[in-house]
Structure 1
């Protein structure tokens, strides 16, 4: 019998499986994985939630989610930023949202080894990454998005989005190699983006007061080793509330489960697994008896906010448990991102 992800003293395999079941229970008949039942679906969080389904052995549900992505991809390779129960509410394009399909597809292939799934999804990934490449600036950074109707691009390059794109391109390169269709343009773009994130951070929008801009260069894989550890240490005390989780915004008394578990994934990738375990343990106060997780807590007054159990928060808990326990073949999806590629330098 295969034992699923677990963290001794924090989460049992049965508890992680219950979280997977809670995610599956939120899935719409179409295959979409919304933020919460009746809530919006965006193409990035949808994929992250599908990844958690793969980890917990819910292969059919995960593939239904990826089929939703395949069916709803537009002719230009993009997805709308926001859909609500099948109705498009924001038709514009977010380059990072579109790139993330590569991470999910590579992850599902690692977990299942299913070549038929890979063959079915490869055209979707190729079209998405081809679209994302159009958002690349001459300095190696990627514009964050654009107007779907006019084709105009918004020139700003955001740290979090670009760090996530770095991981997505790496996964796309691996998929292309698996398909026997290497893409030199992707390799060059990956190398240039990594150089920019490590050596020229000033070309991006200034880091905001959100924790994601702090840890995402590590989570996405561009910054690792001693540099990554020093980067995390610089703002640890600003964001980490011991025993509670991490602040979503540095000056607000609000901890969030997803950001905390993403930071756990980042520090695990740096080799600091004990810190990762403590971080996941710190947000168990957000766990609901049904296995799902509330989005966050305002710790000054003890109130959950927003008052929702978000699909993607539950997903990050599952992914962090898998990374820490090394349970599935996809457990290294964040840890194994390559920093540099020969043709990209």
Structure 2
């Protein structure tokens, strides 16, 4: 598969990594309206939708990526938010697995990362300007739900009620969204918005680094989840030696040698997407060799067509669950880009904005 970009013979490509099937699968599952479900006829959510769209941008599937971002613009509510999930045939719009419909701040705001990523991949300033109102309103929604202590509340119910608690991984993602939104504002000469978002990002970063008491206050701690471990590094909240120390401190707990990263520390299950995000986090702190080693483990978790399964339950020796999510392939493409520099956005996570 060609990704549509010129490169020197020595430069790696998605085909060199064996990622052609992953990209083809994402594009094949994408609906006519642009939405990218988790799998054919399955539900979707805005965060994973954007991650899949980012893979399309890396692969040079620019029209498919634009359709994905235009879906976000069309689906966005007047308050700047999106529902947490879409297209679940067994649930209400905005709900999944029996939950009440809600709007999540980090899922709604992630379009800022995708929009800036697409711009870095393509240089298409006109499309960036087209997406500006969507990015502006999404980040305004998130910022309205920032607490005086800096954290950004997790979700808003269908009735407008705010769930006043915060997630470490979700707020780390919001930190990255605010950084990318500020970069977009700078590109488009929207300095007032840029300053607001950088100020909100600073306060959010201070809460994440210094106020652990402001997170997981009303539910059980999420620290057993790998995302809480590496997301502050992945999203640039923690950098330098503290970031390297944070990753090293969690290796024995989360990394299963030869298999990948556990999704949950006390469950015998490695997942490809979390493993790929760990790979990018390691690359961000200069551990390229270790990152590449872990990444190469993951290609054992594909089907006969080369499409990634969600993960592997190593006690039962079975792929579990038996799904092939689009966003898992998306994460694999983004990890390969971070390791190999295939696109103009390859360093988006390895060289944190504003640091």
TM-score band, normalised by shorter chain:
over 0.9
Give 1:343's aligned residue.
Answer: none
Q: State how far apart, in whole Å, the 2-side matches of 1:228 and 1:58 are.
A: 33
Indicate the structure whose relative CO is greater, using CA pairs within 8 Å and at least 6 residues apart: 1
Residues matched between the structures, number: 338
TM-score (norm 1): 0.93
Q: Would you say the 8 A contact 1:33–1:311 is kept in 2?
A: yes
RMSD over aligned CA atoms reads 2.0
* Unmatched 5+ stretches in structure 2: 96-100
Provide the residue aligned with 1:192 in structure 2: 203
Unaligned runs of 5+ residues in structure 1 are 341-345
Q: What is aligned with 2:98?
A: none
Q: Deviations over 1:134-170 (max 9, x none)?
A: 110000000001113x211101111000000000000
**Of residues 136, 145, 155 in structure 2, which corresponds to 1:135?**
145
The equivalences for 1:88-103 within 5 A come to 88-90=93-95, 91-103=101-113
- Tell me how far apart the structure 1 counterparts of residues 52 and 257 of structure 2 sit (CA, whole Å): 27
Q: Is the CA contact (8 Å cut-off) linking 2:94 and 2:103 kept in structure 1? A: no
Matches within 5 A, 1:1-345: 2-3=6-7, 12-13=15-16, 15-84=18-87, 88-90=93-95, 91-148=101-158, 150-182=159-191, 183=193, 184-205=195-216, 206-338=221-353
The structure 1 segments of at least 4 consecutive aligned residues displaced by more than 4 Å after TM superposition are 3-8
3-state DSSP class of the match of 2:19?
helix
Residues 46-104 of structure 1, C-alpha deviations (whole Å, 9 max, x = no match): 00000000001111111110111111111111111111169724241100001100000
1:255 and 1:291 map into 2 onto residues whose CA distance is: 18
Displacement after TM superposition at 1:3 (Å): 4.3
Q: CA contact under 8 A between 2:50 and 2:111: conserved in structure 1?
A: yes
Q: Distance in 1 between matches of 2:184 and 2:32?
A: 28
Contact 1:4 1:327 in 2 (8 A): no
* SS at 1:82 equivalent: coil
* Inter-partner Cα distance in structure 2 for 1:7 and 1:268: 18
